[in-house]
Amino acid sequence: MKVLVCVKQVLDPHGMTVNRKAEKVFINREEYILDPASKAALEAASHLKQGGAEVMAISVGPERVEDALREALARGADRAIWIRSEGGDALVVANLIAAAVHKIGAVDLIIAGHQALDTGAGELAPRLAEALDWPQILGAVKLDAGEQGVTAIVQQAGFVQVKASTPVVVSMLAETYRGSYANGWRLMDAYKKWNVEAWSTSELELGEDDLRPLTAKKEDAFPPERQLGTPVRDVKELVMMLKREKVIAS
């Protein structure tokens, strides 16, 4: 089985501070990390390697994205493909990846993270499925593959088991990541021995329309401020406060 994992690089939230009053986000340290949902996707793919699957990782972006791809190799990917592009919106990224899928050929399963830390839009997987005209399973917490296709467990007012024949696009929830760390030896090999294949957009079969974003960003807006309560140390103090505020009888 040929599995393609879409990975995304995002700004490290630890390098940012939010000033709620000024409604500003400050980037103190511009450092990039592999998005947690991408880690979940890679983990799910690695799990399938036990059944003999071949895992490829793909990412769209500027040169720094190579680090995310090398980390993907360290996390079990056998092959890494970098589409050199400034991206655009989710539609453009989906079109780029769809074109890459055609170029790679014979891909059975695409696994992506469901929602990334930066936008949380969750658009890549469904748009990719549309571009490829493949079925989609969104928000999976578990994924298995076999002769017949894939079986996933999806969170939907409880848990639902979904089956699909390949080829299919599946998105994994970030919370499913169980901490299968990158392998140190593979990480060194990823930088010193192995290659990341770099593809430019001209190498992919794409029309002008495919690279035109559908959306344009207008502005950043903060959600309304939540009223925070008073922290209490333990149950005793909570009970005392409730009595004092006359919520419960003394």
CB of 176 to another protein, least distance (A): 15
Residue 242 binding another protein, by CB under 8 A: no
Residue 126 sits at φ, ψ, to 5 deg, of -65, -40
Residue 243 binding another protein, by CB under 8 A: yes
Candidate residues 33, 98, 124, 137; the one interacting with another protein per rule CB under 8 A: 33
Nearest to 65 by CA among 121, 7, 16: 7
Nearest residue (CB) to another protein, 39 versus 127: 39
Nearest residue (CB) to another protein, 197 versus 237: 237
CB of 36 to another protein, least distance (A): 10
Scored b (16 or more CB within 10 A) or e, 180-202 reads eebeeebbeebeeebebeebebe
CA 250 to each of CA 229, 241, 242, 247: distance values in angstroms, whole numbers, following the listed order: 22, 10, 9, 9
Residue 238 binding another protein, by CB under 8 A: no
CB of 198 to another protein, least distance (A): 15
Residue 70 binding another protein, by CB under 8 A: yes
Residue 2 binding another protein, by CB under 8 A: no
Residues between 153 and 192 that touch another protein (CB under 8 A): 179, 181-185, 187-188, 190-192
Candidate residues 221, 233, 246, 247; the one interacting with another protein per rule CB under 8 A: 233
Residue 29 sits at φ, ψ, to 5 deg, of -130, 115
Nearest residue (CB) to another protein, 178 versus 212: 178
Task: Report the helix count and the strand count for the chain, using DSSP H and E.
Answer: 6, 13
Residue 71 binding another protein, by CB under 8 A: yes
Scored b (16 or more CB within 10 A) or e, 206-240 reads beeebbeeeeeeeeeeeeeeeeeeeeeeeeeeeee
Nearest residue (CB) to another protein, 203 versus 237: 237
Residues between 72 and 131 that touch another protein (CB under 8 A): 74
- Where would I find the beta strands (DSSP E) of 125-196? 136-145, 150-155, 159-164, 168-172
Which residues make beta-bridge pairs with 2?
Answer: 54
CB of 250 to another protein, least distance (A): 6
Both tokens assigned to 96: 């780029």
Binding residues for another protein, per CB under 8 A? 33, 67, 70-71, 74, 179, 181-185, 187-188, 190-192, 233-234, 236-237, 239-240, 243-244, 250
